[in-house]
Copies of this chain bind each other. A is one copy, B any other.
Amino acid sequence: MLRLSKKVDYAIILLSHLGEASGPISAQEVSSHYHLPQPMIANILKQLAASQLVESTRGVQGGYVLQRQANQISLAEIVRVIDGPFNFVECAHEPSECRVSATCPTQTPLQALHGRLYEFMESVTLENLIQNHELQPV
């Protein structure tokens, strides 16, 4: 139904939390703070670390910190890192896969739509999400 996946939801919560913290935060800390399943969010933090969004420190007192400033991380990037490439319409990236590409009347407008959504999600930064800035009306 066109929604963000739970993992992305969690990732946003995690990153927001890291963005507001000063030192490294462990998976354990976050999971107990928000009452979320620990293995789940540990996995997500691993993904975020593998994707260079957060830096990890091992060992006691270790944890995660943002690798970039919150205004340098876009919503689009978070979605991409967790859920894979953002394909609003199937043919957005692989026109060859479309069975009806020759006759499909909606290709161009749907791709334009895709582009707008993408730009939109690029323009929303983690900082916006944290600070709850007023978002400009569409």
Chain A residues close to B by CB (< 8 Å): 1-6, 9, 12-13, 16-17, 20, 33-36, 75, 79, 83-90, 99-100, 103-106, 108-110, 112-113, 116-117, 119-120, 123-124, 128-130, 132-135, 137-138
Contact = CB atoms under 8 A, between A and B. Distances in A.
Contact of A100 (B35, B75, B83, B87): B35
Contacts of A135: 109, 112-113, 116
A5 B132 CA distance: 30
Given A9-B110, A35-B103, 5 more contacts: A1-B86, A2-B88, A3-B88, A34-B103, A106-B129
A117 B5 CA distance: 16
Contact of A105 (B13, B35, B99, B134): B13
Identical copies of this chain, number: 2
10 contacts: A1-B84, A1-B86, A1-B87, A2-B83, A9-B89, A34-B104, A75-B113, A112-B132, A116-B137, A117-B138
